[in-house]
Every structure is written in C-alpha cells, then in structure tokens.
Amino acid sequence: MSKTPEFTLYEFANGIRMVHKQVAATQIAHCGYIINAGARDEEKNATGIAHFIEHMLFKGTAKRKSSAILSRMDEVGAELNAYTTKEQTSIYSSFPALYLKRAVELLTDICFHSTFPKHEMEKEKKVVLEEYEMYLDTPEESIYDEFNELLFPKHPLGNNILGTPETISKFNQKQITHFIAKNYLPQHIVFSYVGTHPFNEVKKILERSLHQVRFASGQRQRQKVIVAKPFVHTAKKSYTQAHCIMGTRAYHNKHKHRAALLLLSNYIGGPALNSRLNLSVREKYGYTYHIESSYSPYCDTGVFSIYMGTDQKYLGKCTEAIHKELLKLSHQPLSAPKLQAAKKQFIGQISMAEESRSNLMLALGKSLNDYNKIDTLPQVYKKIEAVTAAQLLEISNEILLPQQLSSLVYLPKK
C-alpha cells in the first residue's frame, strides 16, 4: 500500500489494484472498474467486440437477470454506466454514499460473473446496429474514426470502436469469452473510488466482493504500430456541410513532450473561446461554427488532429487560416506573456475538471493503468509550468508543419 495526502494505492492478492481518494462535504460517491482493454486489442474478425462486451455486461450474470441489473442502482436514484475507448473499458457507478456495498457488489458481479445469454446477445446486436446507424448520421464523430482507419492502416487502432455491421451480426459467446480471457487480466484492472468512505472500509467491501473471482494468467502483447505516409483523402457524403479533419501521429502517453503537446493543443484549438483557431477562423471571418484541436496519446503512439465543419465554399479559406496559425507556431516561439497565459488557462481548466468527481474517479483509474502511478495536482501543475517556449517550437516543427499533416474531407453530394 502507498499513501499520499491525496489518495491511497493498494494491490489485492489477486493482482487487481485500487486507487482511493477520500473527499469531504458530499453525499455522493463514485467508483468503478477501469480495464486496460479496448478496440485496439481486438482480433481482425471481431472488430467491435470490446464495445459489445461493454453492452453485454448488463444483460445477465450467474445470479441476476438483465432487469435486476438495470434496476439495482436506478431504484435508489443512482447511475450505472460504461464506455469503451481504443485502449480502455470502464464500468462505473455514481450513487448516494450509503449504497457503497450495493454499488461495489453489483459492479463486481457484472464485470466478472456475466453469462452473456444468447437470446440477450441477439437483441443487443440490434441495439448496437442502431447505434452504428446513428453514428453514421453524426459526421463530427464518424470522420474521426475514418481518419484513424487511414492513419493506422491494417492496425487495430484504426478499428471503429463500434465494429462493422458484418462483425456485429456475427458476434458469439466464444469470441466474448476469448477476448475477456486474453485481456481482462488482473494486472490490467483498476478499481477506482472517490467519496467520503475511508480507505479501509472500501477495501474491506471490495475484498469481500472479489473473494470468489478467478482470473486467467498470462501476458498480452499489443500489435506494434508501423510507419505510414501522409495522405489526402476526399469522400462525398449526404451532409449539408463540408467536414474536414487534418492531423498526424503524435507522442505516446509516456513521452517527455506529452504535457507540452497537451498544452499546445489546448492553446491551438481547445474548448475556450479564445483559442487560436476559434479566434482566427470563427471570430475573425465567421467561416465555421465549430473548430477544435485534440491530442489523444496511446501506449505506443498518439494522434494530433484538427476538426472543423464549414460551408463548402469556405473550406479552402479555413484550411489556409489553419495552416497560417500552425506555421506561426513553427517559425517563432510563443512570447513569455502568451506562454504564461496559455499555462494559466490550461491549469484552470484542469482544476475545473477536478470538480467533476465522477470524471476524476475515472481519470485516477486510467492513470494508474497507464503509468502505474498517479500524479497529484501540484505535480501536474509543475509539469505544465515547466514547459518552455523552445519546447513548443520544437514540437510544432515535429508535429504541426502543414506538409506533414494528413487530411480527410467529407464533401456534400451535389
């Protein structure tokens, strides 16, 4: 066990780790299992299985039917939820604090004792196919997945998290149990808790729930990423607007420049209205309603991208304005006042995000899975404050030069 003023880390005998953060003045607690397994861990004939398993965890266990699972937390006004990403599956609950035992027992039951009934599988395939159709009608989401498919050709990181209609319709119990046995290993599982309960109480309840859980042993090897050339791809779609995403591979999540690229991405096109792209493309010219940049680090690579939706007649002008901003960053370092303002803003956003204790709980679990440690907020702030203008200039020349960026454009069908 390791303990800091902010949180406690503990490893159970079976290898599952726990991160515990005690907070005051709240009647709501949050906890969940964060599993280091996602779409990139799927085999070629089972794309979408990680996400499908996330759905099926709610469809029956050795002692509960689907209706009992769905009502167990709802009937006390609590929330039960889950999501899947490229490298992670999270199953979690937010609940009135007096229902801690109920939440822990239910989460453990669905994560480790689900039975995946065949009749429920057939129903859930229809649900996921509807989700897929809805996703296709949302270009600001689907364009990211198609871009990743082009950026990581023939690699699981290019997989659509939902899968395809062909793979979804063929999912079976054998594929589910194979994926779980291969990826739901104790060294890849973290239980995260944020609430008023003391560490020893949460530990005792969790130990009781985990007592009969057994795991397969083994090590997982993720497929390595290979080098790919930049591309320019255009597709005709039945949308009113043109949609464009440009970007490139970037640093992995343990890279020395990770914090600096997060800061730079936030400065370029983060959620604030004063981001460089928002000011230069939306506010100055009115070319777009929504423009953003993002950086997603993975265990062995990352993706930096810029997305916008615009009228087709403004597409060229938007691209010019974006390239102009990126070239500025690669030609001259940020001034001391601009750099300090960017740091101040980013630190403020991180502080605000900490107020969402559900998101904090999930972030703590992800951090422990990714780095086998958790930085305190002062440590995070220190890393951001340490970023220099020279670093940002170096990163801009490595990542942001327009000629290095790939692009995918959806043009409206005439």
**Structural domain ending residue among the three candidates 149, 177, 210:** 210
List C-alpha distances in Å: 220 to 36, 41, 142, 181, 274: 11, 9, 29, 10, 43
- Predicted confidence at residue 148, as pLDDT, reads 96
Bridge partner residues of 31 (DSSP): 93, 193
Burial class of 262 by CB neighbour count within 10 A (0 to 12, 13 to 18, 19+)? buried
Domain of residue 247 covers 232-412
Helices (H), 60-183: 66-74, 100-112, 118-136, 139-151, 165-170, 173-183
Give a yes or no: residue 158 inside a domain.
Answer: yes
Radius of gyration of the chain (CA): 22
Which residues of 251-392 form beta strands (DSSP E)?
288-297, 302-310
Give a yes or no: residue 221 inside a domain.
Answer: no
Bridge partner residues of 189 (DSSP): 35
**Structural domain ending residue among the three candidates 210, 241, 274:** 210
Residues 169 and 54 placed together within one structural domain of the fold: yes
**Count of structural domains, the chain:** 2
Q: Which of 285, 299, 309, 263 is nearest to 408 (CA)?
A: 309
Which residues, 6 or more positions from 262, have their beta carbon under 8 angstroms from its beta carbon?
Answer: 295, 346
Give a yes or no: residue 7 inside a domain.
Answer: yes
Give a yes or no: residue 85 inside a domain.
Answer: yes
Residues 308 and 400 placed together within one structural domain of the fold: yes
- Predicted confidence at residue 303, as pLDDT, reads 97
Residues 178 and 63 placed together within one structural domain of the fold: yes
Residues 47 and 156 placed together within one structural domain of the fold: yes
Residues 194 and 258 placed together within one structural domain of the fold: no
**Structural domain ending residue among the three candidates 210, 242, 258:** 210
Sign of CA dihedral 132, 135, 136, 141: negative
Give a yes or no: residue 227 inside a domain.
Answer: no
CATH number of domain containing 398? 3.30.830.10
Provide the token pair at 97.
Answer: 């604090």
Asked if residues 302 and 231 have their Cβ atoms less than 8 Å apart, the reply is no
Which residues of 45-188 form beta strands (DSSP E)?
79-84, 89-96
Residues 159 and 31 placed together within one structural domain of the fold: yes
Give a yes or no: residue 218 inside a domain.
Answer: no
Residues 44 and 166 placed together within one structural domain of the fold: yes
Give a yes or no: residue 216 inside a domain.
Answer: no
List C-alpha distances in Å: 92 to 103, 352, 365: 9, 21, 11
Residues 69 and 168 placed together within one structural domain of the fold: yes
- Predicted confidence at residue 86, as pLDDT, reads 97
Residues 391 and 269 placed together within one structural domain of the fold: yes
Give a yes or no: residue 99 inside a domain.
Answer: yes
- Predicted confidence at residue 223, as pLDDT, reads 93
Residues 22 and 118 placed together within one structural domain of the fold: yes
Residues 200 and 261 placed together within one structural domain of the fold: no
Question: Mind listing the pLDDT tens digit of every residue in the chain (414 residues)?
Answer: 777 778 999 999 899 999 999 999 899 999 999 999 999 999 989 999 999 999 999 999 999 999 999 999 999 999 999 999 999 999 999 999 999 999 999 999 999 999 999 999 999 999 999 999 999 889 989 999 999 999 999 999 999 999 999 999 999 999 999 999 999 999 999 999 999 999 999 999 999 999 888 877 788 899 999 888 899 999 999 899 999 999 999 999 999 999 999 999 999 999 999 999 999 999 998 999 999 999 999 999 999 999 999 999 999 999 999 999 999 999 999 999 999 999 999 999 999 998 999 999 999 999 999 999 999 999 999 999 999 999 999 999 999 999 999 999 999 987
Residues 143 and 256 placed together within one structural domain of the fold: no
